[in-house]
Structure 1
Amino acid sequence: MTGWLIAFFGLFLLSLAYASYKSFQKNRTSDDFMLAGSNIGSILGFLTFSAALFSAFTFMGMPDFFRTHGVGAWIFLGLSDALMVFFIVWFGYKLRSRANEVGYQGVAGFVQKCYQNKYAGILLFVSSFLFLIPYVAIQIRGISIFLEAAFPGLLPFWAWASMLVGIMLIYSEIGGLKAIMYSDAIQGVILLVVIWIIGATCLSLAGGLETATQKIMETNPDLTILPGPKGLFTTPFLIASSIAIVMIPVTQPQFTTRLVVMKSLKSVHRMAYAVGLFAILVILPTAFIGLYGAIKYPDASTSDFLSGALMYDQAVPVAALAVVGLFAACLSTTNAQIFALGTELRSLLKGDDKRTMRITKVSIFLFSIIVLVFSTYMSDQLVLLARVSFAGTSMVAPVVLGAVVFKNPPKSLMILSSFALAYFILSLLSWVPNQIGGYPLDFVLYGIMIIATATIFITHSKKSQ
């Protein structure tokens, strides 16, 4: 095992070093560093978007989600991602049109220009900071608990997490967004290959799809129906989850920026279709792994299940490749999100280019330290924590949508989003109920926001005529 790990990690780190070298420019501007020159083709764009979207939480969280909650996990993520692809086609066009008019350095700075109001930019940055930090911590938490369980006694949890953050900082500081995109491309290919090898192996060990399904029907039939054995996949939960995921390109800046830096609208459309295909291909084998886990590891902890299914039950080369694949997935996603926070801060700064770059790089370092601390306090419910991140950032969707639809967007959208974001945060702190009338809070908030946003849009459109 050690020899395979050294070989695969060596190849991976060499590929990162080469990508960093290719991306480095001695006299680059802040736009070159933060926005990759805004000339990304459809293939690299598809791989970087997919890798940022499907990460360690997909590799580790989704198999455990299938094992614990059943087939509704496919509806939760697979169907929602398909809907997101169709939304990207429209949103990408509107976003790029407005970005060409007012300029783009980040979502926060973009909405600040559109609304001609500093509060709009601050609102976007605060929402990104509050919910991307925990999301990045989820990735680090996930890979660290896996490595700690897979190699007991070798390194403590904090050492694995620190090593990951250290590599991430060095790589992003040298290569910028272009290097991160190359890293994403490498990780996306590794993720797809490894997860299919492991998924096929787990399905074979379970006796094939038909036999495995029959075993599940005999031992835990609730896994094959909604709302699942723990009653999670109710209709309100699935609707609210779909809205949160569809809004990812709007309110998670690492994805919004990727739509802007594509070299053409045609590239955006090609990228969107490819992401939809990638979603199907990457989620399907996680269902096979979860099915296998429900049979062999029904009562095991998350770390025991993952270390068993992804490592100990696999051939040695596959197990070693799984470790490298998970490490790459975590590195790619954490890189993208921490860098996105730096981009958002930089979009709000004014002054000399060198000064803003210096502040941005320092902020990326500080964000990384905060993430490292946060990762020690996160729980092991990776998918549900990721969903909270998606839902939290989606509360500011009306502000971004207003910015891309109207030349002079109504400021009442800022009030609406501020209320929704504040109430959602209070619910996470248990200061207000997380259910209203028996329905999940985010489901109720989405209903209010959709009606209110539509009313504001219609009223503002009539006034503008």
Structure 2
Amino acid sequence: MTGWLIFFFLLFLASLAYASYKSYQKNRSSDEFMLAGSNIGAILGFLTFSAALFSAFTFMGMPDFFRVHGVGAWIFLGFSDALMVFFLLWFGYALRKRAAIVGYKGVAGFVQNCFQNKWAGYLVFISSFLFLIPYVAIQIRGISIFLNAAFPDLMPYWGWSAFLVAIMLVYSEIGGLKAIMYSDAIQGVILLVVIWIIGWTCLEMAGGLKAGTQAVMESNAALLSLPGPKGLFSSAFLIASAIAIVMIPVSQPQFTTRLVIMKNLKAVHKMAYAVGIFAILVILPTAFIGLYGAVAYSESTTADFLSSALLFDQANPVAALAVVGLFAACLSTTNAQIFALGTELRSLLKGEDKQNMRITKVGILLFSLIVLVFSAMISDELVLLARVSFAGTSMIAPVVLGAVIFKNPPKSLLILSALALSYFVLSLLNWVPVGFTGLPTDAAMYLILIPTTAVLMLFHHFTSKTPHEA
């Protein structure tokens, strides 16, 4: 396999080098560096959005999620992503309309300008920092589990993590956001091809869909129904997950920014439709891999299952391509999200452009070092950790939606989101009750957050003397 691995890695690194060369500009402005010139077409936009959305946690986390928790995993992610696509059609239009009026350098700065309140921007930045850092660490953790299990004598765990982050820093420094988007496009194609090859192979090794399903039925029938063998997929869990995932374009800045920098609204709509199709195509084979795992590796650890199903049980060329595909997925997601934190920091800075860029680049370096430390502390529950990230950032969705909908958004939304975010973080630290009214924390918070947001917005709509923009 070594020969194939070298061949695919060289091919991948050569494509990255070409992408960074095409993206590099000697005398580029900060907007060109951080926002890719705001002229992204539908194809590149769809690939970069999809690659940022479906990454290492999809490739590795979802098969293990299917294996452990059953078919409810499809409802958890597949159905929720379909809802998100419909939401994108409205939100993309409203966001771009508002951004054209107040300007856009990042979500934090955009919200700050809309509310005319510096704390609004700080709230968005704090939310992004608190939950994107662990989300990036998930990607590094996932690829490190796989590579350390596959090549235990080649490099220590921290070496893989440091190597990955070093490539990300060099690559993003050379090409900026445009280079990252090209990397996303490369990763998206690799991910789709590799996951279908492995998924189809695993389905055949399980004896086909009918025989594999029958084997699971005989060994653990709870995997084929809700709420699953561990009772995870309750109605509250699934509804709360759908809300958190639908709110991803609102609350996670790497996605919000990608909607703004598309060259026109038509490109945004094409991108949204394509993301919906991509979601179905990329999640379906993870179910096949999970089915195989439930049949052949029901008692194995996450690391043993993934290294076997994705590597040792595959033909050498496929195994080598899987390694490169996982590395590419982790690299592109790490790139996109660390860079998004840099964009958010820069959007809050005032003063001379070159000085702001220096501060931003130092910030990106610091964010990367924090991610390295955090990746060594998290568990192997990759999908559930990703879900916590989605839910956490969704707590500030009322603020972003208020900024998009209203010309002068109500300040009460800032208080509401700040309280919601604070409680959610404290619940993760077990400093306040985890969940209440018999529901998980995020589901219970949504029961309060959604109707309260609606009431505050309606009250503002009918009482404000300033015309609103919807």
Shorter-chain TM-score: what band?
over 0.9
Q: Which residue of 1 aligns with 2:260?
A: 260
Counterpart-to-counterpart distance in 1, 2:35 and 2:145: 33
Q: Offset at 1:433?
A: 1.4
Structure 1 segment 357-368 matched on structure 2, within 5 A: 357-368=357-368
Aligned-pair CA distance for 1:437: 2.1
Q: Distance in 1 between matches of 2:297 and 2:433?
A: 35
Find the aligned partners of 2:133 and 2:170 in 1 and give their Cα distance: 19
Corresponding residue of 1:303: 303
- The yes-or-no answer on 1:376 pairing with 2:362 is no
Residues 131-161 of structure 1, C-alpha deviations (whole Å, 9 max, x = no match): 0000000000000111000011211100000
- 1:42-441 matches, within 5 Å, as 42-441=42-441
Distance in 1 (CA, whole Å) between partners of 2:99 and 2:123 is 19
2:468 aligned partner: none
Please give the TM-score of this superposition, normalised by the length of structure 1.
1.00
CA distance in 2, matches of 1:371, 1:449: 30
Shift, 1:458, TM fit: 0.6
In 1, are the aligned partners of 2:85 and 2:273 still within 8 Å (CA)? yes
Equivalents in 2 of 1:208, 1:128: separation in Å?
A: 43
Deviations 1:337-374, CA, capped at 9 Å, x for gaps: 00000000000001111111111111101100110111
Q: Once the two structures are superposed, what CA deviation does each residue of 1:76-135 show, in whole Å capped at 9, x if it has no partner?
A: 000000000000000000000000000000000000000000000000000000000000
1:464: how far off?
2.7
> What is the letter of the counterpart of residue 64 of structure 1?
D
> 3-state SS of the aligned residue for 2:212?
helix
- Secondary structure at the aligned position of 2:145 is classed as helix
Residues 220-240 of structure 1, C-alpha deviation per residue, up to 9 Å, x if partnerless? Answer: 000000000000000000000
SS in 1 for 2:58: helix
The SS at the match of 2:211 is helix
- 2:437 and 2:444 in contact (8 A); partners too: no
One-letter amino acid of the counterpart of residue 382, structure 1:
L
Q: What's the Cα RMSD here? A: 0.5
What is the Cα deviation at residue 431 of structure 1?
0.7
Indicate the residue corresponding to 1:22 in structure 2: 22
Partner of 1:13: 13
1:50-83 alpha-carbon deviations (Å, 9 max, x no partner): 0000000000000000000000000000000000
Contact 2:65 2:383 in 1 (8 A): yes
Q: Aligned AA for 2:18?
A: Y
AA paired with 2:371? V
Deviating runs (4+, > 2 A) in structure 1?
A: none
Looking at structure 2, the residues matched to 146 and 377 of structure 1 have their Cα atoms a distance apart, in angstroms, of 16
Contact 2:80–2:245 (Cα < 8 Å) also in 1? yes
1:2: which partner in 2? Answer: 2
1:211 to partner: Cα distance: 0.5
Q: Take 2:120 and 2:346, find their aligned partners in 1: how far apart are those partners? A: 15
> For residues 224 and 26 of structure 2, what CA distance do their matches in structure 1 show?
56
For 1:33, the equivalent position in structure 2 comes to 33
Separation in 2, partners of 1:52, 1:73: 20
Give 1:438 shift: 1.5
8 Å CA contact retained: 2:51, 2:184: yes
Give 1:251 deviation, angstroms.
0.5
- Give the whole-Å Cα distance in 2 for the aligned partners of 1:437 and 1:358: 48
CA–CA distance in structure 2, aligned partners of residues 154 and 406 of structure 1: 55
How far did 1:289 drift?
0.0
Tell me, in whole angstroms, the C-alpha distance in 1 between the residues paired with 2:184 and 2:311.
23
Q: Which amino acid aligns with 1:200?
A: W
Alpha-carbon distance in 2 for matches of 1:122, 1:176: 24
Distance 1:46 1:15 in 2: 19
Secondary structure of the residue aligned to 1:366 is helix
**Alignment TM-score, normalising by the size of structure 2:** 0.99
Percent identity over the alignment? 77
Indicate if the aligned counterparts of 2:121 and 2:348 stay in contact, CA closer than 8 A.
Answer: yes
Q: CA deviation at 1:424?
A: 0.2
CA distance in 2 between counterparts of 1:43 and 1:168 reads: 23
- C-alpha displacement at 1:435, in angstroms? 1.6
Q: 1:435 aligns to what SS in structure 2?
A: coil
Partner of 1:220: helix, strand, or coil?
helix
How many Å apart are 1:439 and its aligned residue? 0.8
Query: C-alpha deviations, 1:17-68, integer Å up to 9, x for none?
Result: 0000000000000000000000000000000000000000000000000000
Per-residue Cα deviation, 1:151-174 (whole angstroms, up to 9, x for no partner): 112111000000000000000011
